[in-house]
Amino acid sequence: MSLYRLVGRFVLRHRAAYAASAVMLVGIALLIVWIPRQIGHVVDGLVAGQLPRPVLLRELAWLLAAGAAVYFLRVGWRLRLYAAAYRIGVELRERLYTRLSLQGAAFYQDHRTGNLMALATNDIDAVEMAAGEALLAGFDGSLTLVLVVGMMSLGVDWRLAAFAILPFPLMAFGFWRISRHVHAASRQSLERFGALNDHVQETLAGVRTLRALGLQARSEAQFTALAGGAAAASLDAQRWEAAYEPAVGCTFAAATAMVLGAGTWLVWHGQLTVGQLTSFSMYLGQLIWPMFAAGWVLSLLERGKAAWSRLQPVLDAPASVDDRGSVAAVRAGPIAVRDVHFAYAAGARPALAGVTLALQPGRTLGLVGPTGAGKTTLLKLLLRQHAPERGELRWNDVPLQAYTLQALRAGIAWVPQEPFLFSASVAENIALARPGATRAEVEQAARLAAVHDDIQRLPRGYDTPVGERGVTLSGGQRQRVAIARALLADAPLLLLDDALSAVDTETEARILAHLRAARVGRTVIIVSHRLSAVLDADDVAVLREGHLVEQGRHAELVAGHGWYARQWRYQQLQASLDAS
């Protein structure tokens, strides 16, 4: 869909506001073309000495009234228009946010966060200006041009009008050439601002790492280069936009010279009065606005088109995971993974290859294996962040794709490897999945996650703000707050993705003991590099390079001679050495 079609649909939906603005603009244009004609009559009356004082005062009063009416009509159309035009920015931002919130991890592998933020600010602002300022300025300028040229031709002298519009084709050609450069420069300006925005966002998110590695100077140099590039691109766009004004100035100067020359000759030969030439000169001055409006409208439209060309692919991008399911509620039931194959990119090594697992409701499955074995990938498939290439995942004997994404994810409490905390209080972060939870319920969940005592020691306890991404908490505290949040959600399926990696073994043991009591009736999948975390699991699956290589209870696997037994002996030896 083109920018013009987008704006056209928006105008149709808000036609009342645009129609009211257009009516006010018509009134303004009529008054503006009436004023010079009236002044011409006054001048002719004064020159002829046929304008009594009362009549002169009355005519001046009418002119003042017309000026006041123009002022109030200009204020009115702007208030009416902007109230409507700003809606397109709101609608586009809502649409963009909705689209981004539905996208999965695959989408964000190809789109950088800072650039997406730039789309939501600068790019949508440019489209908003095209739908508001450009549209009405174009209408106002066109209407004024038609009325002024009409009054010049029919109300004063058609010969002077012909001289006045003679340079306009040259101006139109210049505008066409300039607008092509404005479009290219505007797109580059928006892209460079997106790159700058992305660098700032990434730098602030990783500021502690940059400081720890002593990379501040390098980051500042990159920022300076990006900021300089963005400024240069913006300056280039402004330079081309500024070229409209000289084109207007040259056209107006040429038109004025020709009109004054021809008008003087006509007055000298008695074919035109001084008042008529005065009126025509005022009309000629009123042509400046349509000429400037044309340049301004072209500039706004080219900026809008450049922004829309960046924005539209994101708005129209298909969801990385289909959400066409119809089952709107998840009930506890068995989970089945049948011959699942998945790779993150075409031609890449499979992250999962022929994995088959079964888990009964209320049971616990431990997923272990070396780094890169596919453990987290399997959880992502259960969450439908990705879709398998082959094979099937079922829950309660219903294919996962048959559930709506909202229902599926509402039925799963997930603690990722790197838990995310929002810039809110500890209590608000824990109660995220259940905003109506009481403080007692929040504290009980924190006790189960063995983080209650830590929270009590914070300056304001549960009301302590955690800062952006939980920056005021340690890694272990963030993990335990995330576990408390998952436990409070009380979803039928709990996924713990290496959620105990940042806590010591003693705290791990306390949390696991609490989980054994809290997970009664709840299906749990625990991914862990520490085999001690899956000791009490009803079943343990070992993944290596995407393949299921071992499966059984802890005692059975330890008695074997596979990866699990070797890793268990290694971890036990390491624990004994640490204890000594």
> Would residue 200 count as lying in a domain?
yes
408 contacts 400 by C-beta, under 8 angstroms: yes
Q: Give the total residue count for the chain.
A: 580
What CATH number did the domain enclosing 48 receive? 1.20.1560.10
- pLDDT tens-place values along the chain, 580 residues long: 677 787 778 777 777 777 787 788 778 777 777 776 677 667 766 666 666 777 777 777 877 887 788 788 877 777 777 777 778 888 888 888 888 877 777 777 777 877 888 888 888 888 888 877 777 777 777 777 777 777 666 666 667 777 777 777 777 777 777 777 777 887 888 788 778 877 777 777 677 677 766 777 777 788 788 878 888 888 887 787 777 777 777 777 777 777 777 767 766 766 666 666 666 676 666 677 777 777 777 778 888 888 888 888 888 887 777 777 778 778 888 889 899 999 887 777 888 888 899 988 888 898 998 888 888 889 988 888 888 888 899 988 888 888 888 888 888 888 888 888 888 888 888 888 788 888 888 888 888 888 888 888 888 888 888 876 667 787 788 888 888 888 888 788 888 888 777 777 777 778 777 777 766 678 889 888 888 888 888 899 999 988 999 898 888 888 888 888 888 888 888 777 666 5
Residue 211 identity: R
> Would residue 197 count as lying in a domain?
yes
3-state secondary structure 456-474: HCCCCHHHCECCHHHCCCC
DSSP string, 8-56: HHHHHHTHHHHHHHHHHHHHHHHHHHHHHHHHHHHHHHHHHT---HHHH
478 Cβ contact list (under 8 Å, min separation 6): 419, 421, 470, 502
Report the distance separating Cα 35 and Cα 69, nearest Å: 12
505 contacts 575 by C-beta, under 8 angstroms: yes
If one counts every other C-beta atom within 10 angstroms of the C-beta of residue 30, the result is: 15
> Would residue 230 count as lying in a domain?
yes
Number of domains in the chain: 1
> Would residue 211 count as lying in a domain?
yes
> Would residue 407 count as lying in a domain?
no
DSSP string, 521-578: T-EEEEE-SSGGGGTT-SEEEEEETTEEEEEE-HHHHHHSSSHHHHHHHHHHHHHHHH
Q: Could you tell me the residue range of the domain that residue 259 belongs to?
A: 3-316
Q: CA neighbours within 13 Å on the CB side: how many for 245?
A: 5
> Would residue 10 count as lying in a domain?
yes
179 contacts 244 by C-beta, under 8 angstroms: no
Beta bridge partners of 364: 524
> Would residue 422 count as lying in a domain?
no
Consecutive H or E run containing 419? none
> Would residue 564 count as lying in a domain?
no
Helix ranges (DSSP H) in 354-456: 375-382, 405-410, 426-430, 439-448, 452-456
Give the position of tokens 């020359």. Answer: 261
